Amino acid sequence: MTATAAGNGARFAARPLSVGGTPTSRWLHWERRFASLDLTSCPGLVVVAAHPDDETLGLGAMIAALTAAGVHVEVVLVSDGVAAYPTLSRVQRSRLEHIRRFEFAKAASILGVDETICLGLPDGEIAEHEAWLAEQLGAILMQRPPGVWCAATWRGDGHPDHEGVGRAAWSAARRTEAVLLEYPIWMWHWALPDDFAVPWLRARRVPLTQSDIQRKQAAADCFRSQLIPPDDHGPPVLPPFVVRRLLAVGEVVFV
């Protein structure tokens, strides 16, 4: 079993947000180059996001590019993402759930997403429902045209929910005619250039325009609940440097 197949939860846990992770400058100065992903061959895209904002932070500019070109894009949101602040009361969690759904819908509108599907699995427990999720994703993909692209969080991203979603999407794509793409998010935090745990040979760079990136930035700004925590409930889930890094490194998928 490869490191990617086994998951990279230990690597992610070993580099908490408080230590900053791999500096953006190190990624930008890396001389390795990847082949470009041919967006003109995309017949339609189903993006699978573990939490509200994953679709935007991981593939927001690609979504913007495809929708601008008239490609049908839909997003499957697996969980509500409210477990980020475990000390919230039940009432506060309910309020945050509504806020996060609103932020998600607003960001999707900015990116031009045609349709959203919310599955409602519990945040932080997606891996426990992996088989059910694979069945649901398989049913969705079976209703789409043959060869539709399915983009999901990478199976080796480190976050357990991201990896669970990635494994379920991989299983669903195997049973259908969908083409699987995996997008990393937390990899940019814990990994290093040429890291042995990352399948760089499968990496493709997404070609983006400045307009695509600007729409991604506008969509990312919608997730205020992630950028500004509830009163007295710890630091934000997404420190500013994390968002800046994700915007700076561009977008990569594993094919």
Q: Does residue 206 belong to any structural domain of this protein?
A: yes
Q: Which domain holds residue 116?
A: 23-28+49-127+144-254
Q: Is the pLDDT of residue 2 over 90?
A: no
Residue 225: pLDDT band by 50, 70, 90 thresholds? Answer: confident
Backbone angles phi, psi at 43, to 5 degrees: -85, -10
pLDDT at residue 4 in the model: 47
Cβ density class 237-254: b for 16+ within 10 Å, e for less = bbbeebbebbbebbbbbb
Q: Does residue 98 belong to any structural domain of this protein?
A: yes
pLDDT at residue 25 in the model: 97
Stretch 30-42: mean pLDDT:
96
Domain count for the chain:
1
Q: Does residue 109 belong to any structural domain of this protein?
A: yes
- pLDDT tens string 68-96: 999 999 999 999 877 767 777 788 888 88
Q: Does residue 9 belong to any structural domain of this protein?
A: no
Q: Which pair of tokens denotes residue 78?
A: 């697996």
Q: Which position has the token pair 């806020």?
A: 99
CATH number for the domain spanning 69: value is 3.40.50.10320
Q: Which pair of tokens denotes residue 121?
A: 């699995």
Predicted model pTM: 0.93
